[in-house]
Amino acid sequence: MTSFSTLLDREQAIQSPPIAWKPVLAVAAAITLLHLLTNGRYGFHRDELQFLYDARHLDWGFVAYPPFTPFVENMSLHLFGLSIVGLRLASVLAQAAIIVVSGLMACDLGGNRLAQFTAALTVGLSPLPLFEGTEFQYTSFSYFWWILASWFAIRLLKTENPRSWLAIGAVLGMGMLTKYSVVFFVAGLLAALVLTRARRYLGSSWFWGGVAIALLLLSPNIVWLVRHDFISYQFLQHIHARDVGLGRADGFLKGQFLADANLFAAPLWILGLIAFFTSARYRMLAWMYVIPVAIFWLNKGRFYYVAEAYPPLIAMGAVVAADWLARHKRWQCVTIEVVFFTGVAAVGAFAIASLVPLASSGPLRDFALSRSSDLREEFGWNELVRTVAGIRDSLTPEQQAHLGITVGNYGEAGAIEILGPIYHLPHVISTTNTGWLVGYPTPQPTTIIALGITEAEANTIFTGCRLAGHNGNAEGVHNEESEDHPDIFLCGPPRKPWAEVWKEHKDFG
């Protein structure tokens, strides 16, 4: 094979081939349509209910994440109401944009029509991007911002136009307003600058302009963190220790192959990584991958924390592979292409069947629920709220007038907050994440419906508790709510003043 440096290390700016808009947009449109047709199959996911809860309490920061995602969900609520398909639309569009940008990265790296289509299809049929389109998650948007930053980095290195730093700074600022772990990708970018010839940009006013834009965008959240004693840092420490303790950080390297990118395309992204390392012009992109992956691996991060690092590698690998194929006979090219695309499609089909709610009943649904714990978490929330409303209706008018509903996790908080108004339930009382900052109500309730805790916990916190109902779902799907929080209790007021209860229950989850 011709050396990578001969193929890609062009010291002059590369003249891009035409953009293959039709095949690239066709892939993006197909994935978009897939999600639009299936995203209304079940209910809200536990994490989505947290975003919906926080969307009702907008601020410049939240305990679990920066403000961008709840802000987008707030706008979606105004546009679509409680339409699940509508509320997930922003995530779907973000994934479609990632597919398109993957094709554009291949184009800017000198890839022909085949390379651009290969990059778009391979990214589109990778498990993590497919999953990100099925729910409204902050990872959907942090993924998008890093891919956009990577594309602008490629544009910078290709054109050697330092003005690209303004765009890089802007998207990284938005990335850090979306998910705090983006800072590790920023660390990878800065280290990559120092380790490559791109270090010359460290003296550029355009680079520092990009830094200024990023800090300016992030500054309201920094002020919020200072005002709240960096509570988000406490949260992240707690979540990391919990995940490591529960073994959720196990299988990090395996996840890079099985989930973060299409398994059949592993040779493609490995080829891309090698090509980036052997190219003096684009070596920065190699370090932008290696450094964040190493940081998360050594610090026991979860495998999906680095999923957004793969589209640039796939794009470069597609360019190298297409250049290599162009030097072979037609029948050889066709054979290799058929084998490759068949394998990518097969892995993609398995991922779709495992992660996407293709069916509301039958074998396809059962297969997906057996494979995806996230899909199982989309069942039972409406039943939970309906059960709580039934318990409320069984109370005397005096008890109803002084009723409070306490919850044990953010999913229950979001369910009562978002779905409860249909039944005229009072605002939820939550000590988890941002709920703790929202605080307890005034006047303080004296009758409590308590969710998400055990009988022993209920009797420790409240007085006169009795079993009032059960939590589950009509489909019989086993998930966290039905397995870990099956009982609902009716109690009297807490044993201690509410202020003391609040000090003792600063909960993270």
Q: What is the pLDDT of residues 109-154, one digit of tens each?
A: 999 999 999 999 999 999 999 999 999 999 999 999 999 999 999 9
Q: C-alpha distances in angstroms, 221 versus 136, 174, 454?
A: 21, 11, 36
Token pair belonging to 303: 């495998």
Whether the model clears a pTM of 0.75, i.e. scores above it, the answer is yes
User: Cα(344)–Cα(368) distance, rounded to whole angstroms?
Assistant: 19
pLDDT at residue 355 tops 90:
yes
In this prediction, residue 312 carries a pLDDT of 98
**DSSP class of 308:** G
User: Cα(70)–Cα(178) distance, rounded to whole angstroms?
Assistant: 9
Q: What confidence tier does 328 reach under pLDDT thresholds 50, 70, 90?
A: confident
In this prediction, residue 13 carries a pLDDT of 44
Q: Which residue type does 250 have?
A: D
Q: What is the pLDDT of residues 191-234, one digit of tens each?
A: 999 999 999 999 999 999 999 999 999 999 999 999 999 999 99
Q: What confidence tier does 89 reach under pLDDT thresholds 50, 70, 90?
A: very high
User: Cα(477)–Cα(434) distance, rounded to whole angstroms?
Assistant: 28
Q: Which residue type does 272 have?
A: G
In this prediction, residue 472 carries a pLDDT of 87
Q: Within 10 A of 384 (CB to CB), how many other CB atoms are there? A: 27
Q: Within 10 A of 33 (CB to CB), how many other CB atoms are there? A: 12
In this prediction, residue 367 carries a pLDDT of 97
Give the three-class secondary structure for 204. Answer: coil
In this prediction, residue 14 carries a pLDDT of 53
Distance of CA 412 to the CA centre of its chain: 20
Q: 300-316 burial string, b = 16+ CB within 10 Å, else e?
A: ebbbbbbbbbbbbbbbb
Q: What is the pLDDT of residues 453-483, one digit of tens each?
A: 999 999 999 999 999 999 989 899 999 999 9
| Mean pLDDT for all residues in the chain | 95
Distance of CA 443 to the CA centre of its chain: 38
| Beta-strand relationship, 447-450 and 487-491 | antiparallel
Among the residue ranges 10-14, 149-153, 372-376, 378-382, the one predicted with the least confidence is 10-14
Contact 284, 196 (CB under 8 A): yes
How would you list the strands of the sheet with 428-430, edge to edge?
A: 428-430, 403-407, 447-450, 487-491, 466-470
pLDDT at residue 374 tops 90:
yes
User: Cα(309)–Cα(256) distance, rounded to whole angstroms?
Assistant: 10
pLDDT at residue 5 tops 50:
no
- Mean pLDDT over residues 271-295, rounded? 97
Domain boundaries along the sequence of the chain: 4-39+88-355, 381-504
Q: What is the pLDDT of residues 99-110, one digit of tens each?
A: 999 999 999 999
324 closest CA partner among 336, 311, 341: 336
The CA radius of gyration of the chain, in Å to the nearest whole number, is 25
**DSSP class of 433:** T
| DSSP state string for 330-380 | HHHHHHHHHHHHHHHHHHHHHHHHHHS---SSSHHHHHHHHH-HHHHTTSS
User: Cα(348)–Cα(370) distance, rounded to whole angstroms?
Assistant: 18
Q: What is the pLDDT of residues 25-58, one digit of tens each?
A: 999 999 999 999 999 999 999 999 999 999 999 9
Contact 153, 196 (CB under 8 A): no
Helix axes 283-298, 266-278, angle to 10 degrees: 120
Token pair belonging to 44: 């809200």
Q: E strands of 1-109, at which residues?
A: none
In this prediction, residue 16 carries a pLDDT of 75
Site of tokens 């802007």:
170
Q: What is the pLDDT of residues 415-443, one digit of tens each?
A: 999 999 999 999 999 999 999 999 999 99
129 closest CA partner among 373, 376, 347: 347
3-state secondary structure 232-273: HHHHHHHHHHHHHHCCCCCCHHHHHHHCCCCHHHHHHHHHHH
410 closest CA partner among 387, 429, 433, 392: 433
Q: What is the pLDDT of residues 53-74, one digit of tens each?
A: 999 999 999 999 999 999 999 9
Q: Within 10 A of 437 (CB to CB), how many other CB atoms are there? A: 15
Helix axes 283-298, 138-159, angle to 10 degrees: 150
14 φ/ψ angles, rounded to the nearest 5 degrees: -80, 135
Which residues lie closer than 8 Å to 75 by C-beta, 6 or more apart?
Answer: none
In this prediction, residue 2 carries a pLDDT of 44
